[in-house]
Structure 1
Amino acid sequence: MKNLVVTLCLLISFGTSAQAADFDIVRTPGLEFVAETRIPGPNDEMMSLCYVTDDLMVFGLRITSDIQSYALASDGCREGYEQLYSEDKVVAAQALNLIPEDVSPVARNDWQRNLSVYGLLIAAALGLIAVIIRRIKSLMGYDLRGPMRKKAALRILSAMCHMAKCDGIVDSAELAHIRKTALRLTGRNYPTSDIIHMVDTIDMSEGLDENDFIAFGKGLRDREKDLMMQGILAVAIASNRMQPNEHAFATELAYGLGMPGEDFRRVLDLALAAPSS
């Protein structure tokens, strides 16, 4: 499907057959058999009524076929035609019982052919839009189906470990809680050994200044900042109570991230509503 979308986009972008030919995409006339007639041909054999079509060929495969007019052919519409046949001629030939009455005098697409011609293009366009939207979401950090970019995920994990070190003790239960919460928020699964190493490198004895809190959010997108706050709040409320130093850390981080009070309350509600690890 992606290959088809790319192919059609190239066709739309380049427009003409000559420009698209480099990509083996061409528009070419075609013939389709409609009915046998009682109109004699050059060698007195009965001629066939054909559709003259405008076909879109992609790498030798006919993708769409759009009816343009009628024509008469003596070879059963296999190779070429002798003459185009207008609506007036079809009506006159039907009056003389030379062409079956159930043939429409007007050579045009029916709803089924229109669906095949335009439905495919619409489906391809929608598929392309979906790919573009997904890519934009990914670039902006909104692709919820994939893991978060590594830089942001590590920054969130670091903030959670800093929050855990606020009381100076990080036990095995808290390590497991950090690991599960990080996986839920970022989509990345960090080994407990990596979390222990990160915790061990954090020294909270001298505290953090304003620049340290600003650094947590530097280069992060708004959604990533929200998830960072959810992560540290999830660590703080895991014991069903928030210590004063944990509250101070959360408050300073919110200021450092530039998070308004209403957003802080929103992410706190999300942290409280999240499933317990």
Structure 2
Amino acid sequence: MKIDFFKSVLWVCLTFLTLNATAWAKDFLPGETVMVAYPANNIKDDAYIIGLVRQQVKNGDYQISVLDYVKGHDYGISCVPIRENELGQATNEVVWEMWTDRTQLFGKGMQYIVPQANVRKLQTGQFDFIERNNLYITFSRWKSNAPIMTLDQFDIAMAKAKSLGLSELVPALVLAKKERESYYEPGIGRPYWPYEAVPKLNDLMADVITTLKSDKQLNQLWRQKSRDWKNKTISTQHYFLIEALDKILFDASYESAEDDLDKVDPAVLKQFRERLRILGAKV
């Protein structure tokens, strides 16, 4: 019994030590190829670095050599440049003066310290960025009125967004799906005649007004004439909602001027146009 007891204690201790060592182990070792991810709120400006880990510095960040990167992103916000010697070894000398254009990264002569939080396994990072881009493509296809686009594509996109931690994209996709439903018949996707679409669009305008009333910041951002988002901090949710609202209002305004609207219930048509005016449309 004593032997069994000591075996149990030993097993517990070894298990604890193993788990503790694993918890504190470095995620990436020198020589590993990693992705340094810089996801953008609008997705289309996502950037990343593919790099070779040189070492993990004291605060947990990683020092890497650059193998490839997305051009155009300002990496100076988060990367620290370290000069290499003639043998390609880091000198630990921080050389900001050598890095004049911080949208470009040197493959030779320089290494960079990058935030630990941004470093990911290469395959995982690549997969996530591809899926983010696929979501952006789905949204863009809706914006461009792609003729072949089923409603379940929106459901798939919403589920995918949630799985990627992009739930902020869902409200815009919900509105996008509702707009698509307003113009196309379920199933084969026959386009509705304008007089068929207007009652559905009238309900959609009510949803849009409710969305804006429930989010004062969104309402303020959407009604701004200046849309210089690069110089402003805007969330993923607000960015895509603004994109969605712009398209919805533009399309609905066009629909309100169609010729065969005499078949629409006059009260519904009047309400539809009143709601468009509330949203700033000139109808």
TM-score (norm 1): 0.21
Indicate the structure (1 or 2) with the bigger Cα radius of gyration.
1
TM-score (norm 2): 0.21
